[in-house]
Amino acid sequence: LIHAAAITPQKYYRFSEYKKINFLGLKNLIKNFKINKKLIFLSTTDIYKNLHTKKVAKEKNKVNFKELSDYAKSKFLCEVYLKNLDKKKYNFKKIILRLPGIVGKNNHKNFISKIVNQVINKEKINFFNGEKLFNNIYHVDYLCDFINSILKKNFFNNYNIINIATNKPIKVKNIFKFIIKKKKIFEINSNKKDYFFIIDVSKFNKYYKKITTTKILNKYFRSNSL
């Protein structure tokens, strides 16, 4: 079973709604359907957006539940629920994929797609953290290919968490060089509280081919005719 159904922060929802649909929805599914082999659950790297994540986000990082967004809380509750399931009664493999910003056809709004839309609409662009490294992105085509590949793989552990992101992070300011070239960039300093981190993909690389941040950006930008 590939579980991708959830409400996301594209619209305003209260925590009670995230919990009802994302968390309780998963619990009802587990109780009412028999899963024989694997459950692949799509979670989020937003789980790392807390003060315990300094520079590199690893699967073993401590999570401070109180600091998470309501959306991330609902996903983390799902992860904990799956981890605590009785292994004898629910002996299928649980594979948690923590997803970054996914780009591709009809993708939800995220950091990269927002920039692309601003360029298309010839809007002024403000950004900060230009010197920070960025790899919190992946393309839906490669994600689908990876999921298809792990359907055929054997997992020895009953519960697995895998970060999904690109290899070879690049500086935020260099993202703009891909799409704007001669246009003037307005870089501003900001006091906005922001959790900026690199996603560790060393575990992911054991299961799937390495794809660089630059390759994902090029693929996405070409499809948007920029």
User: Using an 8 Å Cβ cutoff, are 52 and 60 in contact?
Assistant: no
**pLDDT confidence of residue 193:** 57
**pLDDT confidence of residue 160:** 97
Q: How far apart are CA 120 and CA 16, in angstroms?
A: 37
Q: How far apart are CA 30 and CA 68, in angstroms?
A: 25
Residue 50 forms beta bridges with which residues?
A: none
Beta-strand relationship, 170-171 and 133-134? antiparallel
Q: Is 221 left (phi over 0), alpha (psi -120 to 50) or beta?
A: alpha
**pLDDT confidence of residue 182:** 53
pTM of the model: 0.91
Residues in the chain: 226
**pLDDT confidence of residue 183:** 61
Q: What is the pLDDT along the chain (226 residues), one digit of tens a residue?
A: 999 999 998 788 999 999 999 999 999 999 999 999 999 999 999 999 876 666 899 999 889 899 999 999 999 999 999 999 999 999 999 999 999 999 988 788 788 888 777 777 777 777 777 888 999 999 999 999 999 999 999 998 999 999 999 999 999 888 877 776 656 666 666 556 566 789 999 999 999 999 999 999 988 887 765 5
**pLDDT confidence of residue 197:** 85
- Residue 130 class from Cβ within 10 Å (0-12 exposed, 13-18 middle, 19+ buried)? middle
Largest distance between two CA atoms of the chain:
61
